[in-house]
């Protein structure tokens, strides 16, 4: 790890991966970092499916089916239909990465179903907690020399993937993990002055 850059500066979204497998022990260390994340009410609303090899390809076939169905859906808002090229590119990246971790929320179901206000509060808390767990994962992976991509496009294939897994849990997102085959420049970030305001 570079001595002159923090782990936050070193972390980049990686979209090109080497074929080298990720040892199971390393995957466990990355998931262990997620396990130690803070969570609202200590609910720990997470479960992680680690998929590689043939199983990964089977999952990604379901992802592809979901994307194709979404492209044809009359109910898909136009702005999401316009984002299908991005989803297809994400699928390509997922196929290249040696490991995909599916991040599940066992306390929630299909994100497209309506929920009442009280449940929505819990849903927001669980989503915040999952975000903390994923952040821990990708920072640990960066520390260990791996590249990651935090993937939200699994939303287009929620039904297909969860049915394949035989679960009613909510598929929150996925994380691609592998040795990076690129060194992208950092994306532009807002300055501290743009985002901070002291009160009092």
DSSP 8-class letter at 22: P
Q: Which domains occur in the chain, in start order? A: 7-182 (3.40.109.10)
Q: Which helix (H) or strand (E) holds 69?
A: helix 53-72
Residue 53 φ/ψ, nearest 5 degrees: 55, -135
Q: Using one digit for the tens of pLDDT, what is the confidence trace for 110-164? A: 777 778 887 888 999 999 999 999 999 999 999 999 999 999 999 999 999 999 9
Distance CA 29, CA 137 (A): 9
Residue 86 φ/ψ, nearest 5 degrees: -65, -40
Strand ranges across the sheet with 47-51: 47-51, 99-105, 170-178, 147-151
Q: Using one digit for the tens of pLDDT, what is the confidence trace for 24-68? A: 999 999 999 999 999 999 999 999 999 999 999 999 999 999 999
DSSP 8-class letter at 197: -
Q: Supply the pTM of this predicted model.
A: 0.92
- Give every CB contact of residue 28 below 8 A, 6+ residues apart in sequence: none
């Amino acid at each position: 790890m570079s001595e002159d850059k923090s782990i936050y500066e070193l972390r980049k979204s990686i979209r090109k991966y080497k074929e080298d497998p990720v040892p199971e022990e390393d995957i466990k260390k990355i998931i262990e970092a997620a396990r130690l994340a803070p969570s609202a009410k200590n609910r720990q609303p997470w479960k992680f499916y680690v998929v590689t090899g043939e199983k990964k390809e089977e999952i990604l076939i379901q992802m592809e089916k979901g994307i194709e169905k979404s492209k044809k859906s009359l109910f898909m808002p136009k702005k999401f239909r316009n984002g299908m090229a991005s989803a297809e590119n994400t699928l390509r990246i997922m196929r290249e990465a040696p490991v995909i971790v599916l991040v599940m929320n066992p306390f929630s179901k299909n994100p497209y179903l309506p929920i009442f206000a009280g449940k929505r509060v819990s849903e927001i808390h669980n989503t915040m907690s999952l975000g903390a767990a994923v952040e821990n994962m990708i920072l640990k992976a960066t520390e260990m020399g791996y590249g990651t991509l935090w993937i939200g496009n699994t939303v287009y294939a929620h039904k297909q993937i969860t049915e394949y897994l035989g679960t009613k849990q909510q598929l929150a997102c996925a994380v691609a993990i592998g040795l990076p085959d690129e060194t992208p420049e950092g994306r532009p970030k807002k300055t501290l002055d743009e985002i901070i305001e002291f009160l009092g």
